[in-house]
Amino acid sequence: MANYSDILNGYKSELKGKRDSVTVNLSVLLDNPTSIPEHVDIVVEVDKLIEKLAAIQEKIEMVDFVLKFKDSQ
């Protein structure tokens, strides 16, 4: 049976994978803005991806905090 540390580390790995995926999408968008249709506002799309990255990073930091907190008890 998995303990809290295994569960949180698994969740953290999942978050890192999502972060990598969003980072690749952002990189493609910034390196090749012609890859999106003309009617799309590139700044809005970049903002959406940055927002996703920020949310994912915040979750990763919170998982680290919880792991450190639990380990200190």
Number of neighbours of residue 56 by Cβ within 10 angstroms: 20
Domain span including residue 23: 4-72
CA angle, 30 then 15 then 55, to 5°: 65
Mean pLDDT for the stretch of residues 13-29 = 96
- Total domains, the chain: 1
Over the stretch 34-66, which tens digit does the pLDDT of each residue have? 777 776 788 899 999 999 999 999 999 999 999
Q: Which long-range contacts (CB under 8 A, 24 or more apart) does 44-52 make?
A: 49/22, 49/25, 50/26, 52/22
